[in-house]
Amino acid sequence: MDHHPWTAADLPVLRGRTALVTGATSGVGLATAGALAQAGAHVVLGVRDTERGRAVAATMSGSTEVRRLDLADLASVRDFTQSWSGPLDLLINNAGVAGGRGAVTRDGFDLQFGTNHLGHFALTNLLLPHVIDRVVTLASGAHRAGDIHFQDLALRTRRYSLAETYGQSKLANLLFTLDLERRLRGSGSEVRSLASHPGYSATNLGIKGRSKPLVATVNLAGRLLAQTSQQGALPTLFAATQDLPGASYVGPDGRWELHGSPALVGRSAKASDPALATRLWEVSEELTGVRFGLDLQ
């Protein structure tokens, strides 16, 4: 049987469907939004910088809309969700940042944990009454270096490590995917919660306040080893459109999951721990003041 690698050309026709992609102005988010729009979906770009968002949307074929959304500011997340009307087929929690020591969100959370996890946690739950198909949250192989430091989520009392801080936020993305799926099943919803990771792609993930030689090395390695953003978007597009079980995790099938065709991939034991996922969910509700979106209001 001839088995060709799955590409964006294999996307189903998405006419009449609406998708929201966070962090859609560059990298994998931009490629994801572009491919969904080309397949016929109406794509909403949730972006911090609307001027840049409009410039990017102008390069896409298909139906697009740009709306301001700053995941590092819970007030912005609430404004965005309160102005949402109509059904949302696909919510793609793509945005991700990597910041230096002491970088915080508007609400005082560690920048990575606050943006990558808590911002998406609040966004998803506040939009959930509108979502009709699935939520795809972007994680990373970096989740394996992560641990959830409940006593010190901003990692202020430990020696600062970008890998550990970013890893914590990406582990949180997978635990969120897991507990969201459990809650959706418990509420009788048809919506599915899945996760994806892009492998190693050349993106503009900001490494702020790092030494120039390190950034130069990372950038050089990126150019030599990375796939394109279009390839990096494939696991997300696959997770968003193929018939997969809830809580599935999709990544590239190549060596070390750095590149390749989209396939179901493994995750760390911590990322599969339902008790840890539920504990993180409860802490996230306390920190954001946002509860599970389908609980009776």
Report d(CA 158, CA 101) in Å as an integer: 11
Q: Among this protein's residues, is 166 annotated catalytic?
A: yes
- 262-264 and 249-252 beta bridge pairing: antiparallel
DSSP class per residue in 113-169 = IIIIIIIHHHHHHHHGGGEEEEEEEE--GGGGG----GGGTT--SSPP-HHHHHHHH
- Check if the beta carbon of residue 67 is closer than 8 Å to that of residue 45: yes
Helix or strand (DSSP H, E) at 63: strand 63-68
| Main-chain phi, psi angles of 53, to 5 degrees | -60, -40
Question: What is the chain's percent helix, strand, coil content, to nearest 5?
Answer: 45, 15, 40
Q: Position of tokens 């993930």?
A: 205
Q: State whether residue 26 is helix, strand or coil.
A: coil
* Residue with the two structure tokens 């009709």: 132
Q: What is the distance between the alpha carbons of residues 200 and 215, in angstroms, rounded to a whole number? A: 16
Q: Coil, helix or strand for 37? A: helix
- The encoded tokens of residue 140 equal 């990373």
Neighbouring C-beta atoms of residue 180, cutoff 10 Å = 27
* The dihedral sign for the CA sequence 274, 122, 262, 214: negative
Q: Which pair of structure tokens corresponds to residue 232?
A: 């990096």
Could you give the residue numbers annotated as active site?
166
